[in-house]
Structure 1
Amino acid sequence: MEKIKTRPWDSAEYLKTEEDVTEYFEACLLEGGDDPAFIAQALGVIARARGMTQVARDAGLTREGLYKALSSDGNPSFGTILRVIKALGLQLHATAHA
């Protein structure tokens, strides 16, 4: 039996347009909006799709600092999250919870 070659799924490879990024982030907020680590990870995926070096520069962070903040072991401050969101060209919006 021939082995099938696989590779890990990387959502960043599919975030090609602004619409892709917006829909992905919105879905992540809806799915895991009460889990800060999940949201930080989602921002990390978007940052990798956009280029970590440029996002870090735009957010006023080092590249290493951005990787650390958005890693599974990271615990970024809310201020860092807001700077990353702004650097990614995204905005947070609020709606009433049903």
Structure 2
Amino acid sequence: MIKTTPFDASEYLTSDEMIAEYLSLTLEDENPEVFISALGDVAKAKGMVQIAKASGLSRESLYENLRSGSMLRDETVQKILKTFEAKLVAGSSKPADAA
């Protein structure tokens, strides 16, 4: 019998570069819950208690905001990203040579 364990992305988010790439890729998905889930993965990797303290949110509020179906406010996203030392950056989805 083969035993499997659920995949946990937070176990692989071991560097700031990996975290930045992961968050950037999730922003490309049209489903906003993918990004919210990714924020939760990063918070778990960094330590929920530390992220809660650094963001000024209670641990319960952090969990509530990062759960599936939450309507995460931009202000909260910015607080959380600041604790990761990350920021959102907009770019063009149009290829550079398509003028």
Partner of 1:11: 9
What residue ranges of structure 2 are gaps of 5+ in the alignment?
A: 95-99
* Structure 1 vs Structure 2 CA RMSD: 1.2
1:84 has 2:80 as partner: yes
What residue ranges of structure 1 are gaps of 5+ in the alignment?
A: none
Q: State the Cα distance separating 1:97 from its structure 2 match.
A: 2.8
Q: State the Cα distance separating 1:43 from its structure 2 match.
A: 0.5
Preserved contact between residue 41 and residue 71 of structure 1 (Cα < 8 Å): yes
Q: State the Cα distance separating 1:71 from its structure 2 match.
A: 0.6
Tell me the secondary structure at the aligned position of residue 19 of structure 2: helix
Which of residues 13, 33, 44 is equivalent to 2:40?
44
Q: State the Cα distance separating 1:74 from its structure 2 match.
A: 1.9
Q: Percent sequence identity over matched residues? A: 36
1:60 has 2:59 as partner: no
Partner of 1:23: 21
Preserved contact between residue 37 and residue 75 of structure 1 (Cα < 8 Å): no
Query: Hey, which bits of structure 1, 4+ residues long, moved more than 6 A?
Result: none
Could you tell me the TM-score, scaled by structure 2's length?
Answer: 0.87
Output the CA distance in 2 between the equivalents of 1:40 and 1:56.
Answer: 15
* 1:42-69 residue CA offsets vs partner (Å, 9 max, x unmatched): 1010000000011111111011110110
